[in-house]
Structure 1
Amino acid sequence: MQPTVSDSKYVILGITEWIFNWQKNNWRNANRKPVLNRELWEELYELTQELTCPPKRRELKWTYVKGHNENKYNDRADEIATSFAEGVSVELKLKKDILI
């Protein structure tokens, strides 16, 4: 099983721990304020449910990796995210030098 890797502890804690309380509390956080980016959290939760529930029943493992720490995969993800944020298209295929 390949882990889902993120340099965002917010995303990992959000999807593995906090989301269940947010749902129970009508999408309010611990400070009783609306959860930011609720639509994105709902979509991410739905995707995780599709993968982990029958018939797929995949196990998901979320792993934190420190950002900007010379991790070639995280650096590539940053490159893609930055390009899209700037409105620049980018090749999504893995570069050969990343696979080595």
Structure 2
Amino acid sequence: MKEVEIYTDGACSGNPGPGGYGTILKYGVHEKELFGAYDNTTNNRMELMAIIKGLESLKEPCRVTVYSDSKYVVDAMTKGWVTKWQAKGWMRNDKERAKNVDLWQRLLQLAACHQLHWVWVKGHADNPYNNRCDRLAVNAIKSCPLLPDNPISSP
């Protein structure tokens, strides 16, 4: 299996508001940048989208280390929260529905194809790739056509 690193970040101008994602894929000496923007979204959705877009660009199953500054995503994946939400019909607890179900479903489907290792990195700190992803996400909001974000909150 190929070993790939995926660095990600999401940004939002207002929350909700226009948002963007930035992703950098590294395979050996090769790097690929991905970015895009949505019209009315949230920071958490853009954090998820950055990872999804990176995984969707892989052409075969890989060993992937995902670097993200989103505790929301990293904790949900490493602590099993998302699989618990899914098992409970996308409920976080007895009264509260999980948010971003459409993206969690996409992420889980992609995760099943790869061997993923999750690494949380401090945002806006000393990780040059995370900082680069942040710039990609922020610049995407300013320069890319804003796509409609149509979240589906229930399964």
| % identical aligned pairs | 35
Q: Cα RMSD over matched residues?
A: 1.5
Higher helix share: 1
Q: Tell me the residue number matched to 2:136.
A: 80
Kindly provide the amino acid, as one letter, of the partner of residue 34 in structure 1. R
Q: Could you tell me which runs of 5 or more consecutive residues in structure 1 were left unpaired when the two chains were aligned.
A: 52-58, 90-100
Alpha-carbon distance in 2 for matches of 1:31, 1:75: 38
State the partner residue of 2:104.
41
Q: TM (normalized to structure 1)? A: 0.72
Matched, 1:70 2:126: yes
TM-score, L = length of structure 2: 0.48
Letter matched to residue 119 of structure 2: T
* Structure number, greater radius of gyration: 1
Give the Cα separation in 1 of the matches to 2:118 and 2:130.
Answer: 14
Structure number with higher strand proportion? 2
Segments of 5+ residues of structure 2 without an aligned counterpart are 6-64, 145-155
Structure 1 residues 10-19 or 38-47, which shifts more?
A: 10-19
User: What letter corresponds to residue 80 of structure 1 in structure 2?
Assistant: L
Letter in 2 for 1:60: L
Question: Which of residues 60, 64, 71 in structure 2 aligns to 1:9?
Answer: 71
Superposed structure 1 runs of 4+ greater than 4 Å apart: none
